Chains A and B, each alone.
Chain A
Amino acid sequence: MLAELTHRCPLSCPYCSNPQELTTISAELETDQWADIFRQAAELGVLQLHLSGGEPASRRDLVDLVIAAREAGLYTNLITSGIGLTPKRLEALNDAGLDHIQLSVQGVAPQLADWVGGYKGGFERKMHVAEHIARLGFPLTLNAVMHRHNLDDLPATIELALKLGARRMEVACVQFQGWALENRSMLQPTREQVDAAKALVAHARKEHRGTLVIDFVPPDYYADFPKACMGGWGSTGLNIAPDGKVLPCHAAETIPHLTFQHAQDVPLAEIWYDDPAFQAYRGTDWMPDLCQSCDRRDVDFGGCRCQAMAIAADAGATDPVCRKSPHRGLVDALLEAELGAQAQQDFIYRKPPASV
């Protein structure tokens, strides 16, 4: 379960997965409301809790939330930019039993990283935070979000993960949802970059086996088959928005005909099992014939519903990145247009939510 504790964040990454309509601080759930959700989640069978945002460290009650999550019996992972994690706070999180930290980096060159994150001095501060994470012995995953402007730095990014003592790294090519969709023509890598990255990752996995686990999230538009979004809609994962809205995935609100319930109003188990939004694309009954009859039906589950919505304007269609999709031509046309013209000159940064 992904708990987006807040949409507040000191960074303004142009590929942020938060929705365009950001939740304000006044609409955020209270500490005890989150604690209740964590208990319900554990009872429902959730094993792992990912505390995310926005920047979860923007919540003043972060330590209390970690305590509550551990008391509920959840494996607790903090997904953070590192900004706002002082040594003192990290020590308190350590005492609270935080299991794991996933630290994001926007790049390995300070100037580039700070440009992408829209936050001057961010890279340097992150590196200080990483030192303290290592000092306290937290298991660390380095999450490197990759795109056209930093994919060529992949070797240095892997070196950084090793230097910081990360056990895992995610080489996560930008997924075009949320703000990334606005910036697609700035972010889309080239095919040459993608091929080089794949070869590098394969090589690095062998070289660093037993030291660094490398997960590679390939860029969808160059794929032959779609990703199994969320391992299948409503099958293994759920997302709680800062205001308690319960979503099958973080981008589900882009599907206009779905409505969502709030965990402070309706028991989580009831939402999980019965909510029409969770039922909408659960299993295989909803699938078009193309997916129903495909031997990959139970491998990729038709791919990403939000991507089908974004590109084919139909959330019930086969994911358009699939080679078999009648909409695949739209993806190829987008690739060609965006890599050819490069009309966009600068990022459209994520704007902060109103401070009320």
Chain B
Amino acid sequence: MDIVNSPGEHPPNSRQPAVTRLGDRVFLGMSRGSGILLLVIMAAIAVFLTVRAIHAISLDHSDFFTTFEWNANLQPPSFGIAVLAYGTVVSSLIAMIIAVPVSVGIALFISHYAPRKLATPLAYLVDLLAAVPSIVYGLWGGLYLVPHLQGLNLWLNEYLSWTGIFHKSDPSSAARSLFTVGILLAIMIVPIITNVSREVFRQVPKAHEEAALALGATRWEVVRMSVLPFARSGIISASMLGLGRALGETMAVATVLSASPVLSARLLDPVGGTFAQNIAAKFAEADNFGRDALIASGLVLFVITLLVNGAARLIIARRKEYSGANA
């Protein structure tokens, strides 16, 4: 057995091929194959979406990006994504504003503050919550959360209606608004963000925490000086996972929101819609062309997700020099 040649390394000054072993070749083939398969699937999805979407948009009688209504079944068809894009982005934004700080707090509590006896069951509980199907959250949201958020809605309307966004046009209407959707989405994505963040917090090297402790840092200062900076990119990744779920959530939105093609800055009004909710609502009654139109809206959602992810990667990469990951 030639012990100099390890697989994949060619010995210098030698024209002989490196020794290869069957196991290595099989494994290389399998991993390379999986990688290629992934690219093929991605390309297939992209091509499928793009071809059908372009077909639909080319026959759209009104402007695809600025039209409020979705009437793909009319002759001529007239549909647009303005309300859907607005509703999707706004409800996800509300969800992120609520969920990220709460999740980071829960994760920090589990990893750094709670006694072990409490931390272990708590972590387990969070994992469990992450596994609850979204239809269950949706049913709970539609039947329980909507009536119980009415009080908060009215309170916001009374004290914060001067901001405009918390002005409720008809105080007697149910809380089937983008705001409620945002809160429900926040509840849904807290477990996943918490879960990933906690994993990152646990990986903070003990040496960094002891460095802060030995300088005379309090527990919070240890968290601020060594834990949070180290975990920063991990928190961003966790948030992106949560955001992905929020952007694409269907059933939970469909059970809560009274969809109507109105684009309103008043978050408490029962109007609006999101991409996923619109697709779910219109898919059954859509003919072939109507489905292509819905696919076009799905493609826009896809692009939004890509943009958000790209932006997150930029943020992470910009401070790579200071990243704790390579220390």
A binds B: no
